[in-house]
Structure 1
């Protein structure tokens, strides 16, 4: 199996599980596309019927299926071992608990050169072994998540932070949102979640008073659209929002502070513009899809080049996606992901 050198093209597989399409799933698909554009072969493993497997298949990625019903799912483990032997992937990247146990162990047993686990959540971990033994390295989506993992017993040298990246939004000459809502030009429209660009750009400010957030892709998308953002001072959110820099940062579960911040921005169009412009600049400089993809590839290459993984036990490891009957499944590219655990 060819090692991943400075200019080589790698083969990577992702394992993941989840029935929905939250920030973790969105990041995984964006990462797959960016790596493929850079010449790497990326494939996915997920339970049959998983939503995460649908979009990659539409985009032309190879999608494999395994149930991954838990750490003791021997049948899935053997199926994944056969896939890893047959395709000789360079990297296995997992994204949740069950997939890290099942696929990760399979990767270790067959000698996959590099196993990486990505941690997307700001929740207590369910299995320390998936971070300290099964995976060679861990990617945290924020410094907050990295600090938590270290406090839980993961060696600091095993964990690196790679922020989410977003595709730069297409310019919208003029939002039609006010006309659609029958509002005049002086109306100020607040937004909490939006999927369509013209809706997001027709709003100011963007509000997301979350109580828990590993990082917050919604904030990044709003910043990229030039919106001032109102967020809460929890978990990884302060890594995105500087108070009175590109938005307003509030204490969580404080409706009075949220009301005051909203009124402050409604009454001050100059401040809205100032914060929105700075948010756009920050998103372009720090949270682009190219940043995320290049940092991920650099991590793979550095570890393979110095031979670190070869000295940490079996030569390769992959992380598995958590699978249960309640969640039809997510996907895995030779880096894997899920949304649980």
Structure 2
């Protein structure tokens, strides 16, 4: 079978690569063409565009890059027609993917969506496009099944969260070797996860690093994003207690004592590693003002959303400052408070549905396409 996959972000690249591996187990003759990143390219060489050339953050940046986005849409449609896939698999990235899905459905392609757009947070009216243009939807958060089926009468498959597999299947890290390889001291590590895009790293990292001098007994280690070179981070490393590790976020989390994390998938990853964290977010003033009027959620972190309570502290916009960050970091370093985090994290992992998300999704996709193929013959 021919599979065309579109992932537009680093997390999509991770989950796309594991889905491709799982599809190859089901379909030894699988042929891929995809938008993604380095991880997907390790599975197959047919990369069309890298996600680092697609990521536009915030309302203003999207508006400023409308011409580029339009060109990418046209290019993608032509590329799909040339490849003529048996199925198109969309991974999150809704602004782009739902536009392609509308066109693809009209052209008669089979459309499967893995990792639902977060329409339960904002742009709920996208449900109309999803019901019209998507043949199969595979969701990874436990509350999404009820959202789709009870509220919107649209059948979806809950397959569990692929991060469980991605983290469980990684190679174990020797802490002594890791510290030696990256010239880290014996001090407990506070990991800094400032995001993956330059504009968000610039906003987040400066505030995160402003607390370093207040915690001399710890070493702060920046988790460098795979899409950014070390040269970009050099300007931030002005203190001997600040270190840098590139493209080794999981290894870093596995040996960390605490973490400061930019809101996004990384908050869930940090929780699965059982690392107490403070969730941070700061956008441009205009983007934040627009966003808070559109997003209708009590929390911004996936950890709190899934548990439906404040498991991790969220410092958002003006609350994300040096004073508050020092206060909350002291909390998660306290032994008594840390015990509460660990207990909540174990409950969180149960709610995520256990291992096997990629395999379950691959099985369902292959079964659907095989049935369609047999029926057509």
TM score, norm. by length of structure 2: 0.54
Residue 35 (structure 1) aligns with: 23
Distance 1:64 1:230 in 2: 37
Considering Cα pairs closer than 8 Å and 6+ residues apart, tell me whether 1 or 2 has the greater RCO: 1
- The C-alpha deviation readout for 1:42-75, integer Å capped at 9, x for no partner, is 51244xxxxx25553443343457x995499667
1:98 to 90, 96, 99: 96
Q: Does 1:116 align with 2:113?
A: yes
Residue 23 (structure 1) aligns with: 11
Q: Which 5+ residue runs of structure 2 have no aligned equivalent?
A: 55-67, 194-222, 224-246, 281-298
- The C-alpha deviation readout for 1:133-167, integer Å capped at 9, x for no partner, is 1112333443566777789xx83424444423224
Contact 1:13 1:93 in 2 (8 A): yes
- The C-alpha deviation readout for 1:154-209, integer Å capped at 9, x for no partner, is 83424444423224232223245499344x5xx44322323424432332112326
SS in 2 for 1:190: strand
Q: Which has the higher helix share?
A: 2
- The C-alpha deviation readout for 1:278-313, integer Å capped at 9, x for no partner, is 74796599476x522133235436767998xx9xxx
- The C-alpha deviation readout for 1:231-288, integer Å capped at 9, x for no partner, is 47425332556879xxx422543456654442133231x6546745874796599476
Alpha-carbon distance change, 53 to 205 in structure 1, aligned in 2, over 3 angstroms: closer
Residue 208 (structure 1) aligns with: 261
Distance 2:369 2:96 in 1: 25
Alpha-carbon distance change, 198 to 291 in structure 1, aligned in 2, over 3 angstroms: closer
SS in 2 for 1:192: strand
Aligned-pair CA distance for 1:108: 4.0
Q: Does 1:171 align with 2:172?
A: yes
SS in 1 for 2:192: coil
Give the alignment's Cα RMSD to 1 decimal: 4.6
Distance 1:278 1:237 in 2: 9
1:264 to 323, 331, 347: 331
Q: Which 5+ residue runs of structure 1 have no aligned equivalent?
A: 1-9, 47-51, 316-341
Contact 1:97 1:126 in 2 (8 A): no
Alpha-carbon distance change, 252 to 145 in structure 1, aligned in 2, over 3 angstroms: farther
Residue 292 (structure 1) aligns with: 357
Residue 133 (structure 1) aligns with: 132
Alpha-carbon distance change, 173 to 242 in structure 1, aligned in 2, over 3 angstroms: farther
1:1-341 alignment, distance < 5 Å: 11-16=2-7, 18=8, 21-39=9-27, 41=30, 43-46=32-35, 52=36, 55-63=39-47, 70=70, 77=77, 79-84=79-84, 87=85, 89=86, 91-95=87-91, 96-102=94-100, 104-110=102-108, 112-116=109-113, 118-121=115-118, 124=123, 130-143=129-142, 155-162=152-159, 163-165=161-163, 166-168=166-168, 169-175=170-176, 176-177=178-179, 180-182=183-185, 184=186, 187-193=187-193, 194=223, 195-196=247-248, 197-208=250-261, 210=263, 213=264, 216=265, 218-231=266-279, 233-234=299-300, 236-239=302-305, 248-253=311-316, 254=319, 258-268=325-335, 272=338, 275-276=341-342, 279=345, 283=349, 286=352, 290-297=355-362, 299-300=364-365
Distance 1:226 1:235 in 2: 15
Aligned-pair CA distance for 1:76: 5.1
TM score, norm. by length of structure 1: 0.58
Alpha-carbon distance change, 42 to 249 in structure 1, aligned in 2, over 3 angstroms: farther
Contact 2:33 2:47 in 1 (8 A): yes
Aligned residues: 271
Contact 1:93 1:117 in 2 (8 A): yes
Contact 1:132 1:155 in 2 (8 A): no
Distance 1:220 1:272 in 2: 17
